[in-house]
Structure 1
Amino acid sequence: MEIFCSLGRKALLQGKACQNSLAVAKQVSCRTFLTGTCRSQQLSSNSRANPGRPGCLPRTPCGSFFESFYTGSFLPHRLLSDARSNVPPSAEFVARPVGVCSMFKLPIQNSAEGLDVAFVGVPLDTGTSNRPGARFGPRHIRAESSLMRLFNPSTGADPYHSLVAADIGDVNVNLYNLKDSCRRIREAFQKIVTQGCVPLTLGGDHTITYPILQAMAEKHGPVGLVHVDAHTDTGDKALGEKIYHGTPFRRCVDEGLLDCKRVVQIGIRGSSYTQDPYKYCRDQGFRVVLAEDCWMKSLVPLMAEVRKQMGDKPVYISFDIDGIDPAYAPGTGTPEIAGLTPSQALEIIRGCQGLNIVGGDLVEVAPMYDASGNTALLGANLLFEMLCALPQVKRT
């Protein structure tokens, strides 16, 4: 901490670094960031323009605060992002590995207060039926998300200048009690949605979508659902238990959380225990799109139909990474061959643009089964696409 001048230290520790100081930092050239050289004239003029303002840095000679700040060993996370609009820092000026690991290198805060969008992790895999490990999904998705940049040129989306977003950390789940974890998740998301914030969730196994939708339905009423998965997750029970990652949407139907005429499940495939494993879904009014009906084709026409089906009422997106073929996303607990491609996944999420999206999740990333990190990277990209598809996002 000795690298800071006393006033600079005080401003940082009190969390009151002013916007003018940030503006000065932005005026400093790329060379300043990389070499620590600065212009005392810029700093001096800023100080004269703001005498006595709390948190402002005084007239400072070259080689003190900003030089130390950008070349020193300590770079506070809160100043890695624009303080006004929560715009992630560019890798042109701040190295990707630098800073506390957060989703898209966004600021971290303790609640959804003041946010339009909150990224929240739910590190739970107690509900898995095959390979565990999804509890580590949020951590690895965050790490891989540092590769993402600000804009989406393909869709014209400018999310960070349209919405205030931040990472609000993880739900404190109970790894030894699945029902208690569901209660904790429900209560956490009730707080998020009552603050008028759209949650985008990093899972965690698919059990987590059930308590999330409990909170969603409490605010919005029964919601439509765009569900991408290899499995319908509408089982009734297994080993005597009615809550695990194979049952969330059955429980949602039981509790009236879904508008069943506005539910579409895409990418469904795999062997089954019954001759007609999709009967329950169709009996509820779900549209079930099998993976083989998606092979070797664009899903743009399908999503045009889905948009008509969803209308202008609230819609939730739930994306199980095992909906993608394991050739692209091996890091998951229940892989099924012959799934969707990443480009089809983009078509699905981009096809949700224009819908009244009230939340979304990306679940079942189990990083230890993919040493390359590509599954978590794909998950981060899909969450970025969800962010870009939100109705409040401006497009060029």
Structure 2
Amino acid sequence: MSYSELTASMFSFWRNLNIPRAVSGTAADLFFLPRQTSALYPNRKCSGKRYNVPPSAEFVARETADGLDAAFIGVPIDTGTSNRPGARFGPRQIRVESAMLRSYNSGTRAAPYESLMVADIGDVNVNVYDLKDTCKRIREAYRKILATGCIPLTMGGDHTIAYPILQAVAEKHGPVGLIHVDAHADTSDVVLGEKIGHGTPFRRCVEEGLLDCKRVVQIGLRGSGYSADSYEWSRAQGFRVIQAEECWFKSLAPVMAEVRGQMGSGPVYLSFDIDALDPGFAPGTGTPEIAGLTPIQGVEIIRGCRGLNLVGCDLVEVSPPYDTSGNTALTGANLLFEMLCVLPKMKYY
């Protein structure tokens, strides 16, 4: 038998082989599957057409939050960035690096996938040409997610996204406490003449009454500023400001014990900018500042949220072009997993 005859014979064999197998409705559907499986799995086709067609990027998120206790969601924008762009690629790279994550948290013995129904429901359908329209789209998407009772775990994207997310969160829960981990306060009135950007979200949130200001803490703030006290406005609102200098050379577990007392039993949102970490650990970000937190301290902050009434979390400002090793996104993926492991109703062994 010639090579071409052998190839044709093998192709014919596999094409006609009818082997039932589980199909998840994911990218596996796009590749070689026997035609006969369509009869066995009539709901496999996501397009409603004779052939399977992948979901269009015009219509995302690709799934809904119905039936989920928690969901990972990507918001791929960097339109609000004032320095180095690239955070729109953050969700994609975080997903790639999440392949190393396993089912259990060896440090806390948390078993998230035995505790909660969890899924990655894709990306919000943002408009990278229009930041105000993007904020509207984010707000509407999160209203739908929160209406199902699902807790969103967001992959950014620049920090602008916290503003429309918190609009939706506060609409459901009322003014919320905020644990904000960042190198920057993000409370500017304007950045480059604009009211909406990654340096302004928490100013807008205060103006709209989205935050319970006595239950707001900002951790890791540092760097040069436009005035002698860059955090005067935050303190004037009642925020607790913990500058990076207060975190040097120490465990943050005692600080988080105090933060838990401050937050009480009310709803809390956790917003973690990857630039809170020192750029020696996380260089892949748009506005790096030296002398920041360590990954250990980042994990201590998140684990210190255990027992709080967390109603949403985000991990923002991962910019893969500035760390081609992928380590910044890997750190982000692990921090998101830690967030999942401190959500309410978590089972611990």
Q: Smaller-chain TM-score range? A: 0.7 to 0.9
* Structure 1 counterpart SS, 2:271: strand
**Alignment counterpart, residue 279 of structure 1, candidates 232, 235, 238:** 232
Which structure 1 segments of 5+ residues have no match?
Answer: 16-53, 57-75, 77-99, 101-107
Which amino acid in 1 is paired with 2:316?
V
Q: 1:13 to 1:206 in 2, by over 3 A?
A: closer
1:338 aligned to 2:285?
no
Matched, 1:360 2:321: no
Q: Would you say 1:314 and 2:326 are equivalent positions?
A: no
Give the aligned partner of residue 197 of structure 1. 150
- CA-based RMSD of the aligned residues comes to 2.1
* Match for residue 299 of structure 1 among 252, 266, 288: 252
Q: Judge conservation of contact 1:109–1:166 (CA < 8 Å) in 2.
A: no
Matches within 5 A, 1:205-216: 205-216=158-169
Deviation of the 1:7 alpha carbon: 6.1
Matched AA of 2:280:
A
1:247 aligned to which of 174, 179, 200: 200
By how many angstroms is 1:275 displaced?
Answer: 1.5
In the alignment, is the contact (CA less than 8 A) between 2:111 and 2:347 conserved in 1?
A: yes
Give the match for residue 6 of structure 1: 18
> Which aligned runs of 4 or more in structure 1 are off by greater than 6 angstroms?
none
Label 1:338 to 1:392 Cα distance change in 2 as closer, same or farther (>3 A): same
Q: What code does the residue aligned with 1:8 have?
A: P
1:126-146: CA deviations, max 9, x gaps? 000000000000000000000
Residue 102 of structure 2 is matched in structure 1 by 149
Q: Which position in structure 1 is the counterpart of 2:69?
A: 116
1:27: which partner in 2?
A: none
Provide the residue aligned with 1:184 in structure 2. Answer: 137
State the one-letter code of the partner of 1:361.
D
Q: Measure, in 2, the Cα distance between the counterparts of 1:384 and 1:12.
A: 26
1:266-289, CA deviations, whole angstroms, 9 ceiling, x for partnerless residues? 000000011111110000000000
In the alignment, which residue of structure 1 is the partner of 2:183?
230
- How far residue 3 of structure 1 moved from its aligned partner, in angstroms, is 5.8
Per-residue CA distance 1:113-168 (angstroms, 9 max, x = gap): 11011100000000000000000000000000000000012111000010000011
The aligned residue for residue 34 of structure 2 is none
Q: Is the 8 A contact 2:77 2:156 kept in 1?
A: yes
Secondary structure (helix, strand or coil) at the match of 1:391 reads coil
- Hey, what's the Cα distance between the residues in 2 that align with 1:173 and 1:339? 31
Normalising by structure 1, report the TM-score.
0.75
CA distance in 2, matches of 1:368, 1:7: 43
Amino acid at match of 1:210: Y
Q: 1:385 to 1:4 in 2, by over 3 A?
A: farther
Distance 2:197 2:213 in 1: 21
Following the alignment from structure 2 to structure 1, what is the Cα–Cα distance between the partners of residues 166 and 266? 15
* Amino acid aligned to 2:191: A
- Report the CA distance shift for 1:4/1:226 in structure 2 as closer, same or farther (over 3 A): farther
Query: Contact 2:183 / 2:223 at 8 angstroms: preserved in 1?
Result: yes
Identity of aligned residues (%): 69
Contact persistence 1:235–1:250 (CA under 8 A): yes
Contact 1:127 1:178 in 2 (8 A): yes
SS in 1 for 2:235: helix
> What displacement does 1:6 show?
3.1
Give the deviation of 1:8 after TM superposition: 2.1
Q: Distance in 2 between matches of 1:339 and 1:157?
A: 28
Q: Distance between the aligned counterparts of 2:24 and 2:261, measured in 1?
A: 52
Whether the 8 Å contact between 1:109 and 1:167 is mirrored in structure 2 is no
Give the unaligned 5+ runs of structure 2: 1-10, 27-38, 45-53, 55-60
Q: Is the 8 A contact 1:330 1:375 kept in 2?
A: yes
The 3-state SS of whatever aligns with 2:341 is helix
